[in-house]
Amino acid sequence: MNSDVTRWQQDARAAFSWIAGMYEQAQTLWDDAWRYFTEAGWDPNMGGGLGGIAMSQSDLSDWPFIYLKLLAALPKESAEEAATGTLPVFGIFFYDGVRIGPVCFAGSVKWKEKPSGDHWALYEALTGHKARFREITSADSWIRCAQPTAAGIKKRPSIDEVRWFELPLGGVSAAKQLKAIVEAAIEMALGSDAEALALRGDHDK
């Protein structure tokens, strides 16, 4: 094997090792967020299918790796009877070609009839993919909001609105900070943005 090929192989291995390490760290955040939702009385198993992983299953030139991982929750005591409302979401968005880098996001999804959809619904809301959602806030807004277009209503009939905020994934390094993000998502689902806005103050310091 010549030196150029060897160097390419080594660079590729280093790149994959780095990405694998990032995914491992992200999974730790995910597990902890799941626990914080549960401790607060919310069931991440009852998000109506909104949770999951958006990842490559076809053309690697279009979808080369995991893009987004998401969980959604409903209150434990009312999950079975819930017919309409707002649920909190938490996720990790690795790549979309626009954002500077991976982000941790949290917020709320307003739904009707029953919370249905999948992780791709949030990918579409956060990116405008396939024009199924239209962002109605400016890109520099801390709390952003997207609503379904006619195409989105047809594809995602139970989702009325998605609201969220983002933090750089590399900046989420403490358990206290992660817990505050989960709590902010819950408060947004309950109708208050105060905790989410407080996180912006911490981020800007």
Nearest one of 119, 128, 168 to 148, comparing CA atoms: 128
Predicted confidence at residue 98, as pLDDT, reads 87
Amino acid 2: pLDDT: 87
Structure tokens given for 51: 């949770």
Q: How many helices (H) and strands (E) does the chain have?
A: 5, 9
Instruction: Find the radius of gyration of the CA atoms of the chain.
Output: 18
| Residue among 106, 89, 93 nearest 44 (CA) | 89
Each of the 205 residues of the chain gets a pLDDT tens digit; together they read 789 999 999 999 999 899 888 888 888 998 999 999 999 999 887 555 666 676 655 555 566 677 888 888 888 776 555 556 888 999 999 888 889 999 999 999 998 876 666 788 899 999 999 999 999 998 789 999 999 999 999 998 889 999 999 999 999 989 999 999 999 999 999 999 999 999 987 655 5
Say what the pLDDT of residue 120 is.
85
pLDDT score recorded for residue 124: 93
pLDDT of residue 203: 59
User: CA-to-CA distance for 191 and 143, rounded, in angstroms?
Assistant: 13
CA-to-CA separations, 100 to 24, 96, 170, 178, in angstroms, rounded: 20, 9, 12, 21
**How far is residue 15's CA from residue 163's CA, in Å, rounded to a whole number?**
33
Rounded distance between C-alpha atoms, residue 189 and residue 184, angstroms: 9
